[in-house]
Amino acid sequence: MYFYLSIYLSIYPFISICLQVANHTLNVTVLGVNDMSPTFNNSIYQFYMKEDRPNGTLLGKVIATDKDKNPSESIKYSILGSRDFNIDASSGVIRTARTFKISEPTSFTFVTVTVIVEAFNQVNPKEWNSINITITFKDINNNVPRFQKSQYKTHIFENSTVGSTILK
């Protein structure tokens, strides 16, 4: 924000006589105070991905804005407490930092993790905000079914009905 200020200076040794007059215009720039934390554009961020995707797979993007941001400032992003994901500090793009595998046979078809993302401006004092993002990994059918024994033996009655259990 810019203002123009005009200053007039006069020297009067006597009330009726003006000896000198000066006039100067100053440009005054009013800088905003960094008192607003960045805010994320969404209140919830959820990303979905199938397991077994390669390192560096794109998950999604977070976006934050700063109401008192000057054009020369920019918001930076970081992930707190996790080495499993990377975030581009300038763009907010999140990628995997490793391959995720749901290795144990389980009745769950999804595994969900929560990661904290921080957005901060680069002014002193630094203002920041954080948000939890949820990443859900879908289990893919990559385990071949296996029998516990190599051979099974049982007896069946000839009058057994169709659909009867013959071995457990």
Per-residue pLDDT of the chain (168 residues; tens, 9 = 90+): 566 666 655 555 555 555 555 666 777 777 777 778 888 999 999 999 988 899 999 999 999 988 876 655 688 999 998 899 999 999 999 999 998 887 655 555 667 788 888 888 877 777 889 999 999 888 877 777 788 888 888 888 888 888 888 887
* Domain range annotation of the chain: 39-138
Q: Which amino acid, residue 44? A: I
Check residue 115 and give its pLDDT.
Answer: 87
Q: How many CB atoms lie within 10 A of CB 87?
A: 24
Cα separation, 18 vs 14, in Å, equals 7
Cα separation, 117 vs 91, in Å, equals 13
Q: Model pTM greater than 0.75? A: no
Side-chain-side CA neighbours of 6 within 13 Å: the count stands at 3
Check residue 45 and give its pLDDT.
Answer: 94
Question: Dihedral sign, CA of 34, 80, 44, 91?
Answer: positive
Check residue 17 and give its pLDDT.
Answer: 57
CATH, range 39-138: 2.60.40.60
Cα separation, 116 vs 134, in Å, equals 9
Check residue 81 and give its pLDDT.
Answer: 86
